[in-house]
Structure formats: structure tokens, C-alpha cells
Amino acid sequence: MGTVVGIILGIVVLGGVIALIVVGLRARQGGQDESDPVLSRLAEATQRGESVSLEDIELQQPFIQRVIVPMIEKVGEVSSRFTPQKLLQETTLKLELAGNPGRIDAATFLATRFFGAGIFGGGLLLIALASKTWPVGRIVLVVGIFSVIGFFFPQLWLQSRINSRQGEVRKALPDALDLLTICVEAGLGFDASMSKVAEKWENELSLMFGRCIREVQLGKTQREALRDMADRLGLPELTSFVAAVIQSQILGVSLAKVLRIQSDQLRVKRRQFAEELAHKAPVKMIIPMALLTFPSIMIILMAPAAFQIAGAFGPFLGQ
């Protein structure tokens, strides 16, 4: 019975590892190529004058893209039928705030939580079954705790991506506004100034500016594109900047003055945020110091005295 359970859990763990590898590869390729690789290869073959079919192009794809990715997407489609719509909407919003890593939908991302639980919990269960020394209570407790950790690990990873993306934009926003101010004062329009910022840097903010310009070129109004850009990040500083720009356009206020004021305010907020993080650092250091540093220091300081006491009272204790 234990062997059968171990084999089943091994299959689950292997599937979870493959799922995480696929998500990681697609997240790495997400910012490089937004088109379908099959259609891209078919277009390249057509330009070269080669007569190939779509099936031949599909067979040239890696095994992960041909088999594993459709399998994971199918699991996500099945799980979406039993998932509340509110949870799907919240997950979709978080994926958008994180920059949509891996170009996966909300249902597929929620399905990875079960793979994470299988990896963490199944791995510990395999170790426990292999050792054959753990009692049943310890196995249930440890496997349960690590299964819960694995279940929430994708959510923690996604929140980390959101915080990292927002931090990068918060850091680059004042300098970008300085460049916008210079371009506007030089006579360029706001759209052309945003294009200059998108061309100068390669970070999350420049990518957002570039996407906003492309949306305007495709027919969306500038105000809608700016509001959507702020909603895709959820950063209060960027939302305030977009609101100030839209208000200046409505009221006819000088855009250069608004940009300069916004740049100064955002630079002050960035410094205040850095000071806040600096003040939080000592509090965060208490936990690793209490769990790692202090016990080591106590062992180093008390071990010689403990050996001397043991040697002095050993004859009286019959040792």
C-alpha cells in the first residue's frame, strides 16, 4: 500500500515540477515574444518560399509546448468551472498588476496551487515513507503544513512580482517625469514625450509608456489609455500623475508646470518610502537574530562553562 501511494505521489510531484518549469519558461519568454510561435515559424517559412504545413510546424515545437502546456491549460479550463467568478476576477487583476507573467490566465494560475501543494506535501511524504522511522502523527502534521505552504506559494510568488514591479516603477517615475518635462518644454507633444521615455529606458515604466502610445495609435483616446495604464499597475503615485495630467488638459493648465510639480512630489515620496523601509529594517531583523544569531552566540558563550560544570560535578553524579 505504501509503495502504491509513493508511486502516485511521485507522479504528482513530477507533474508539479513540470508545471512550474513550464510557467517559468513562459514567464521568461513572455516579455520577448507576444505572438504565437507556431504562426511565427509558419510566416518565416512562407517568406523563405518553403512549402510546409501547419502540422509540420507544430511537430517542430518542443515537447513542453506541444504536450505539457496544453495539458496544464486543460486542467485550468476544467478547474474554472468550479471556481467562483469573484476569485477569477481578483486573480485576473493580480496577474495584470504583476505584468501577466507567462501569459497565463487566472484559471491556469489557480490550478498551479494544487501542483504546488503536491510538490511540497508529496515530497515530504515520500521522504517520510522512505525513512520508515517517522510516526504517523508527525507525518500527518508535517505533510499537512507543507501542503498548505505549497498551496499558497503561487499566491506569495505573484504578490512578490507585484511588489517588485511597483517598486521598479516607483523608483523610475521621478526621473521619467524629468525627461517628460524637458521634452514638453522643448516643444514636443505629450505623446511624443512619452515615446522618447519609452525609447530611452528599458524598464517596466518604459514598457507601460510604450503600450500606452500603441493603444493611442490604435484608436483609443489618450485619457482612456492613461487611465488603463494606471489601472494595470495599481500604484498610487502613477494614478496621481495620470489624474494631474488629465486635469491639466481639461483645464488648460501648462503641462510643463504640472509635470515639474509632479516630479518634485514623487521624488519626495520616493525618499519617504526609502526612509520607511529603512525604519522597518531593524524590526524585520529581530526574527532572524532571535532564531539564528542569539542561539549561536549562547552556545559559543555557554558551552565552555557547561563542560567545566559537567566535569566538576560529574564525580558526584556518578558519571
Burial class of residue 63 in the structure, from the number of CB atoms within 10 Å of its CB (0-12 exposed, 13-18 middle, 19+ buried): exposed
The length of the chain is 319
All 3 cell numbers of residue 36? 504565437
CA distance 12 to 78: 18
Quote the pLDDT of residue 34. Answer: 43
C-alpha cell, 276: 520607511
Angle between helix 2-30 and helix 69-80 axes, rounded to 10 deg:
100
Q: Can you give the pLDDT at residue 263?
A: 86
Q: Judge whether 185 and 288 are in contact, CB under 8 Å.
A: no
Distance set, CA 133 to CA 43, 122, 146, 276 (Å) = 60, 17, 19, 48
91: cell is 486573480
Burial class (CB in 10 A: 0-12, 13-18, 19+), 311: exposed
Cell numbers at 255, concatenated: 503641462
Q: What b/e readout covers 29-55, taking b as 16+ CB neighbours within 10 angstroms?
A: eeeeeeeeeeeebbeebeeeeeeeeee
**Over its length of 319 residues, how does the chain's per-residue pLDDT go in tens digits?**
444 444 444 444 445 545 444 444 454 444 444 445 555 655 655 555 555 555 655 656 666 666 666 776 676 677 777 778 888 888 888 888 888 877 777 888 887 887 788 888 888 888 877 777 778 887 888 888 888 888 888 888 899 999 999 888 888 888 888 888 888 888 888 888 888 888 888 888 888 899 999 999 888 888 899 999 988 888 888 898 899 889 888 888 888 888 888 888 888 888 888 898 888 888 888 888 888 888 888 888 888 888 888 777 766 655 5
pLDDT value at residue 1: 42
> Who's near 215: CB < 8 A, 6+ residues apart?
224, 225, 228
Measured in whole angstroms, how far is the alpha carbon of residue 125 from the centre of its chain? 28
Choose among 202, 204, 201, 211: nearest CA to 180. 201
Can you give the residue ranges of every domain in the chain? 2-133, 168-271
pLDDT at 115: 77
Q: Is it true that domain 168-271 has CATH number 3.40.50.11890?
A: no
Q: Please report the pLDDT score of residue 53 as a whole number.
A: 58
What is the pLDDT, as a whole number, of residue 31?
A: 43
User: Cα 234 to the chain's mean position, in Å?
Assistant: 15
Res 255: pLDDT: 85
Structural contact between residues 162 and 97, judged by C-beta atoms closer than 8 angstroms = yes
Instruction: Note if the pTM is more than 0.75.
Output: no
pLDDT at position 58:
60
Q: What is the pLDDT of residue 64?
A: 66
| DSSP assignment string, the chain | -HHHHHHHHHHHHHHHHHHHHHHHHHHHHHTT--S-HHHHHHHHHHHTT----HHHHHHTS-HIIIIIHHHHHHHHHHHHTTS-HHHHHHHHHHHHHTT-GGG--HHHHHHHHHHHHHHHHHHHHHHHHHH--S-HHHHHHHHHHHHHHHHHHHHHHHHHHHHHHHHHHHHHHHHHHHHHHHHHHTT--HHHHHHHHHHH--SHHHHHHHHHHHHHHTT--HHHHHHHHHHHH--HHHHHHHHHHHHHHHHT--HHHHHHHHHHHHHHHHHHHHHHHHHHHHHHHHHHIIIIIHHHHHHHHHHHHHHHHHHHHTTTTT-
